[in-house]
Structure 1
Amino acid sequence: MVRNDPPPSMVERMTLILDAFNGRSARLTLEDVARHTRLPRSTAHRILDQLVRQRWLEHNSYGYALGQRALGLGGQDRGHGKLREAAAPLLHELQVTTGLVAHLAVLDAAEIFYLDKVGGRFASSVPSRVGGRAPAHSTALGKSILAWLEPEEVDEKIGGGLDRLTNRTIGELGTLHQELYRVRQRRGLAFERGETFPGIACVAAAIRGPEGPVAGISLVGTLNTPLEKVAPLVAAAARETSQILFPSAASPRRDPRRTPRSRTAQDSGTWSAETMNRLMALDGRGDWM
């Protein structure tokens, strides 16, 4: 006899929902899940919210997908291997060219999750580690990714509480949205100076795909580091990583194998000193957030 009634226990219902995702790349809407599981829409929505909070699933404007816990500890089975491979030579080039610490990270709920860290002697002074996390709203990496999400999705991920780690940390959701607007006006460049750790400054840009941001690349230095001078290199590294990961979406005029060293600000035609001065001026406070 075929059972048509939904299972009574919460564990069975959660299992039923997870089983609806038949592949690591599967994306389902709320309606898809309700139809597949035959659960009431309100019940499916409530359980989906709980699974997202516990990182069994992730949710964005394109629907629900398997999350970090469902795909393996540390997210190693979420396609991060391919992301690391694409970004690795560019991170190395950034570090060698600038002497600063280069990071690769993804957004996980309200936090960033560090996938890679490349640095010289200065690396030990930067309190980050591969596999570590930091609040998205206080980091340049997090803000560079959040800037390309819908405002409602930002609200959902960040929630109502923005903890202040230092006296420079953004503590209100409205202020964060204003900063994300400035990031977009700066063509995706995000800055932070002492917002996560005193004495540490950072510039970042998102790696973007056809469906939105997938990760971020950053350079980290001290508060005295002239970040505006290295910002074009970060933007170029993020752009070229995107081209490697999504070649069909890349411009045919650009070679995705080129590194930040092989493309200067003058080559791009968009990152001249005058352009950078205008971009920095968009932040009226002048402190390169």
Structure 2
Amino acid sequence: MVERVTLIMDVFEGRSSRLSLEEVSRCTRLPRSTAHRILDQLVRLGWLEHTALGYGLGRRALGFGGGDGAHSRIREAAAARLHQLQIRTGMVVHLAVLDGAEVHYLDKAGGRFAATVPSRVGGRAPAHSTALGKAMLAWLDPEDVETRAGGSITRLTPRTIADLSTLHQELNRIRRRHGLAFERGECFPDIACVATAVRGPEGPVAAISLVGDAWSPLEKVAPLVVDAARQVSLELFPGQEEGRAKASRRSGPAPEETWSAQTMDRLLTVGQYGDWQ
């Protein structure tokens, strides 16, 4: 029984993961009746919850990582947006925070492609090699970037940024793209990501990314990531929009918050070798 419970709990990849009975049965290879019986017991005991969207992690399961109230608040504010992104795109969605020179994955939502993405909730990766990390580093002072990443820039793949000068150039390009960060094969071969930061009054507090294979048309889903991060920012910092409105009245019209396909074409260009510029 313990082995079967473990099989079931392992298929839930994060706070926003939602699975049907059929999906749990298929992923665990347990008979449908057996999976249903165990799921029902786990719901009654608080390890899982059951809603119209399916089964998800319950209060007792989520409580195990729960020493950090700030991280719990970020996960709670982002959960619905991550789920919507995953359903709308069919891609893997990540939520992460910056911890020194690394990104710390707070949540992961994904469909069939999720098993091929070697990230996990609670796991870490070098910030300079991920779209998530670069999206957050772009909004820090250059001195802070060097303090965090200066001694830890290592090459994970042939495409990984391997020196501070190149990293600063990339972060400058991200700022010019209004915070959109891309990476193709920099952290893991054959995997590509687009990310943008969730920003508060004092800087980036987290980042959201969409993950696909190396040739995914990320420019088409980039506006969805931008909008999701903006909505999470408003959820976490409800007074921020009013502050931006006041600032725009003093300094002129604010830039567009959502982008048309034509605007995206102007913001994003593809280099000779498929690199995002």
Regarding TM over 0.5, the answer is: yes
- Pick one of 166, 171, 189 that aligns with 1:198: 189
Q: 2:82 & 2:128 partners in 1: Cα distance?
A: 23
Q: 1:92 & 1:238 partners in 2: Cα distance?
A: 13
| Contact 1:160 1:173 (C-alpha < 8 Å) held by counterparts | no
| Contact 1:185 1:282 (C-alpha < 8 Å) held by counterparts | no
Q: Secondary structure at the match of 2:94?
A: strand
CA drift at 1:283? 6.6
Deviations, residues 19-75 of structure 1 (Å, cap 9, x unaligned)? xxxxxxxxxxxxxxxxxxxxxxxxxxxxxxxxxxxxxxxxxxxxxxxxxxxxxx967
Equivalent AA in structure 2 for residue 94 of structure 1: L
Alpha-carbon spacing, 1:283–1:182, altered in 2? closer, same or farther (3 Å): farther
Map 1:116-265; keep pairs closer than 5 Å.
116-251=107-242
For structure 1, the 5+ residue unaligned runs are 1-72, 255-267
Equivalent AA in structure 2 for residue 244 of structure 1: E
For structure 2, the 5+ residue unaligned runs are 1-63, 246-255
Range moving further from structure 2, 80-89 or 271-280: 271-280
2:100 aligned partner: 109
1:281 aligned partner: 269
CA RMSD of aligned residues (A): 2.3
Alpha-carbon spacing, 1:152–1:127, altered in 2? closer, same or farther (3 Å): same
Q: 1:76 & 1:232 partners in 2: Cα distance?
A: 33
- Paired residues in the alignment total 205
Equivalent AA in structure 1 for residue 194 of structure 2: V
| Contact 2:177 2:268 (C-alpha < 8 Å) held by counterparts | yes
| Contact 1:280 1:286 (C-alpha < 8 Å) held by counterparts | no
Q: 2:155 & 2:120 partners in 1: Cα distance?
A: 21
Q: 2:150 & 2:65 partners in 1: Cα distance?
A: 23
Q: 1:167 & 1:223 partners in 2: Cα distance?
A: 14
Q: 1:213 & 1:269 partners in 2: Cα distance?
A: 17
CA drift at 1:156? 0.4
Q: Secondary structure at the match of 2:178?
A: coil
Q: 1:78 & 1:158 partners in 2: Cα distance?
A: 26
| Contact 2:66 2:72 (C-alpha < 8 Å) held by counterparts | no
Deviations, residues 146-188 of structure 1 (Å, cap 9, x unaligned)? 0000000000001234110000000010000000000000000
Q: Secondary structure at the match of 2:275?
A: coil
| Contact 2:101 2:152 (C-alpha < 8 Å) held by counterparts | no
Q: Which runs of 4+ in 1 moved over 3 A?
A: 73-76, 251-254, 282-286
Q: 1:112 & 1:211 partners in 2: Cα distance?
A: 18
1:13 aligned partner: none
2:57 aligned partner: none
Using structure 2 for the length normalisation, give the TM-score: 0.70
Range moving further from structure 2, 272-281 or 112-121: 272-281
Identity of aligned residues (%): 65
Range moving further from structure 2, 274-283 or 85-94: 274-283
